[in-house]
């Protein structure tokens, strides 16, 4: 067991030294990116950029930093401790009970934005299924302001973050179970569906990264083979999308072939894939057949 830092170790010392101590403690606890996280924790504790801190830490700052460091040492995600996180240059509220926005997902949102721009429909209707914080749907609305976007989320905890995040964006938050919600929709009423559904396999759920283990299982667990939501969404939402419209999925890096096949089996066409900026397969997208 790694010993946490005591507030009295941090009070009265220079910010730069405090960062070093926190960094060492995080490193000892196995945290990746300990240097980045230590600086960020000081930013949260002090309420400003650590580069603008010159005076020794006050006792309240030291107490706050010690508490944040203790939580991070227990591998609580930095995003939860920060309470907000940037995605595509926008800031989203985040905390326990909702999946953290990830840089890996930016390419999923960018793909959808490109497809909408190519489609050129004046006021496209967009659904973000299993929306969590809403980062995908809200990201789309920001870059395609004419889009009418609904973010669908089942978890009451996640919905609180979603509601806070859609505030003032023009995006709608809808409390619903994606596995049932399609029944409420008119055929061919949507131009694009985007979804980062739960996609971890049963085996992956048993071996989560310590940070991911703090995130809601409901946002991660995709059934035994991780593909349950792809099957359900590809099947139930095909007729909701208008001819020429698109389905855009985030996928796990080993799921490209399976998800492409699920799309084809369910009558989607132009099935394609993209990698994220880390070089991992991350997006599968497919078009609703144009003429039927």
Closer CB to ligand GLN, residue 62 or residue 232? 232
Site for ligand GLN in 92-111 (CB under 6 A): 102
199 binds ligand GLN (CB under 6 A): yes
Compute the C-alpha angle 224/225/230, nearest 5°: 115
Binding residue for ligand GLN, selected from 200, 260, 262, 273, defined by CB under 6 A:
200
196 binds ligand GLN (CB under 6 A): yes
79 binds ligand GLN (CB under 6 A): no
Region binding ligand GLN by CB under 6 A among candidate stretches 17-25, 84-92, 159-167, 192-200:
192-200
198 binds ligand GLN (CB under 6 A): yes
Site for ligand GLN in 30-49 (CB under 6 A): none
Residue 254 CA, distance from chain mean position: 18
Number of H helices, E strands in the chain: 12, 9
User: H helices within 3-134, ranges in order?
Assistant: 7-10, 15-28, 34-46, 59-73, 78-82, 106-119
212 binds ligand GLN (CB under 6 A): yes
First CA to last CA across the chain, in angstroms?
Answer: 63
Q: What is the DSSP letter of 240?
A: G
Instruction: Give the CB-nearest residue to ligand GLN.
Output: 199
Closer CB to ligand GLN, residue 124 or residue 276? 276
CA distance 276 to 105: 8
Binding residue for ligand GLN, selected from 220, 234, 240, 283, defined by CB under 6 A:
220
Contact present, 30 and 76 (Cβ < 8 Å): no
Provide, rounded to whole angstroms, the least separation between the CB of residue 47 and ligand GLN: 30
Half-sphere exposure of 284 (CA within 13 A, CB side): 22
3-class DSSP state of 5: coil
- Give how far Cα 37 sits from Cα of 9, 56, 80, Å: 19, 20, 12
Region binding ligand GLN by CB under 6 A among candidate stretches 121-129, 176-184, 190-198, 254-262:
190-198
195 binds ligand GLN (CB under 6 A): no
Closer CB to ligand GLN, residue 124 or residue 132? 132
**Interaction site with ligand GLN (CB under 6 A):** 102, 196-200, 212, 220
């Amino acid at each position: 067991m790694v010993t946490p830092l005591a507030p009295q170790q941090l009070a009265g010392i220079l910010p730069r030294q405090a960062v070093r101590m926190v960094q060492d403690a995080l490193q000892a606890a196995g945290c990746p990116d300990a240097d980045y996280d230590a600086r960020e924790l000081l930013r949260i504790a002090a309420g400003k950029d650590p580069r603008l801190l010159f005076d020794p830490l006050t006792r309240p700052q030291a107490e706050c930093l010690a508490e944040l460091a203790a939580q991070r040492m227990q591998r609580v995600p930095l995003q939860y401790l920060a309470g907000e996180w940037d995605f595509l240059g926008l800031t989203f509220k985040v905390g326990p009970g909702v999946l953290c926005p990830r840089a890996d997902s930016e390419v999923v949102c960018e793909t959808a934005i490109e497809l909408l721009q190519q489609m050129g429909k004046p006021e496209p209707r967009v659904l973000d299924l299993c929306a969590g914080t809403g980062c995908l749907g809200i990201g789309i609305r920001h870059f395609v302001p004419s889009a009418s976007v609904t973010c669908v989320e089942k978890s009451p905890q996640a919905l609180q973050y979603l509601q806070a995040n859609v505030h003032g964006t023009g995006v709608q938050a809808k409390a619903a179970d994606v596995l049932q919600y399609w029944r409420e929709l008119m055929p061919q009423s949507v131009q694009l569906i985007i979804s980062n559904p739960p996609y971890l396999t049963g085996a992956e759920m048993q071996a989560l990264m310590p940070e991911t283990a703090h995130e809601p299982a409901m946002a991660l667990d995709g059934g035994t083979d991780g593909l349950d939501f792809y099957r359900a969404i590809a099947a139930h939402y095909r007729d909701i999308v208008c001819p020429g419209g698109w389905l855009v999925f985030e996928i796990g890096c080993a799921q490209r072939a399976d998800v492409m096949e699920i799309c084809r089996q369910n009558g989607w066409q132009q099935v394609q894939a993209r990698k994220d900026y880390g070089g991992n397969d991350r997006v599968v997208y497919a078009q609703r057949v144009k003429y039927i």
